[in-house]
Amino acid sequence: MKATNFIMIGTAIAAIGGAIWAFTSNLPVCLAGGMGDMKMGPMPRHMAMGGVLIGYRQAQKIVNAADREGKVSGSKKHPVVVFHGKQIHIRMIAVEPGAPDQTFEIHKLVDPAISVKGGAKIDLTLLNMDYGPGMMHGVVIGKIKPPFHMVISLPVKHQLVSLPMIMPRSRKSLRKSLYYAESTHFKAPEKPGIYYYLCQMPMHAKQGMYGKFIVRR
Ligand SMILES: [Cu+2]
């Protein structure tokens, strides 16, 4: 596909994302309870879907858990969050307030490498704390490495998991906002290898929304 076509598709998707965002960000709070269960039918792969709406306190609980789990090692420039054990929970925040645009945070680290044991059973949770049109985020893990194209074709090579994109928070005010979170689970391959996690929203991985996912012995 020509680069111009990529740009056109990316722009169209971003525009649709913005329209959905504009619609949902005006939803009254009373609808919040039911939104998580709302099934929207088949949609193009890059569209936002899924997720459960939660309040600020629940979102903060996910952040706190993300800050506790795994052990930070590696260097300051290349931090690694090492998860021990065969049953683990990885919580990732899409753009924690104060973090740079188009990044994931764990332990307040920006796009850290994640290291898991081969064969580990993994619960994966994504919390979107970002705000603004087109700021939908998801997670895909596979054997794909940078540099990334504007549009990521799914599934990626040796895809381990795909967590659908979820919408940005509902309001500018952090405390008054509602947040989308989504969880899934998958099993790490037994064989050690280097994978990458990335956001499948057009442009985001290209802009830096990715990190290494290491499967160790
Ligand atoms: Cu993203």
pLDDT per residue of the chain (217 residues) written in tens, 0 to 9: 444 455 455 555 555 555 555 544 444 333 333 343 444 444 445 565 779 999 999 999 999 999 999 999 999 999 999 999 999 999 999 999 999 999 999 999 999 999 999 999 999 999 999 999 999 999 999 999 999 999 999 999 999 999 999 999 999 999 999 999 999 999 999 999 999 999 999 999 999 999 999 999 9
Report how far ligand 1's centroid is from the alpha carbon of 116 (Å): 23
Looking at this protein, which amino acid is placed at residue 30?
C
Report how far ligand 1's centroid is from the alpha carbon of 182 (Å): 14
pLDDT (0 to 100) of residue 186: 98
E-only strand ranges, the chain: 52-54, 71-74, 79-82, 87-94, 104-106, 109-110, 113-117, 121-128, 137-142, 161-166, 179-187, 193-198, 210-216
Q: Record the pTM.
A: 0.82
Report how far ligand 1's centroid is from the alpha carbon of 110 (Å): 13
Could you give the domains of the chain?
3-216 (2.60.40.420)
Report how far ligand 1's centroid is from the alpha carbon of 80 (Å): 21
